[in-house]
Homo-oligomer: A and B are copies of this chain.
């Protein structure tokens, strides 16, 4: 009956390498051939493991989301309040080492708002995860509706500031604005 068993580890390793490559390159220029060349395999190998290009991109983004959410949950720590958590979020996401990652993040956003069929899952889940983390940071005593409002505002502001930083590179102005916002929490 059964022939050669499926090598799940190899697929996972390929996916992780593909995520690393995607983060460091332009999202709209990802192709079977470019990814295959970067990973040292042929396009047919990728096709065999991921199916269609769209499915490969979804797999890449899903894996990226896992990384981001895990890192975000660590940030929140235990018992930190909203202001502290928000400050940690800003320091983490605006770190220069995270620039390629968030560049990809906003590239996907730009794609998703015009083509909702794809990539919205990635954004909705990631946005919901972040809002949930910031809701929990407010403790159980805060009214649920109020907590959601505040979490939505914090996520939106930090995301907008990050977009400003990535587009203009004006760190002094954006950091000052972030401090102004965070101090008011």
Q: Tell me if A's interface is mostly helix, strand, loop or mixed.
A: helix
A residues 73-93 near B (Cβ < 8 Å) are: none
How many residues of chain A have a CB within 8 Å of chain B? Answer: 45
Interface residue A133 (Cβ < 8 Å from any Cβ of B): no
Sample of 19 more A-B contacts, CB < 8 Å, known A113-B167, A124-B167, A156-B161: A26-B115, A27-B114, A28-B111, A103-B114, A106-B109, A106-B113, A109-B109, A113-B163, A150-B177, A152-B161, A152-B164, A153-B180, A153-B181, A155-B160, A156-B160, A156-B164, A156-B177, A156-B181, A163-B163
Q: What are 25 pairs between A and B in contact, CB < 8 Å?
A: A27-B114, A28-B28, A28-B114, A103-B113, A107-B113, A108-B110, A113-B167, A123-B167, A127-B164, A127-B168, A148-B173, A149-B176, A152-B161, A152-B173, A152-B174, A153-B161, A153-B177, A153-B181, A156-B160, A156-B161, A156-B164, A157-B157, A158-B160, A159-B163, A160-B163
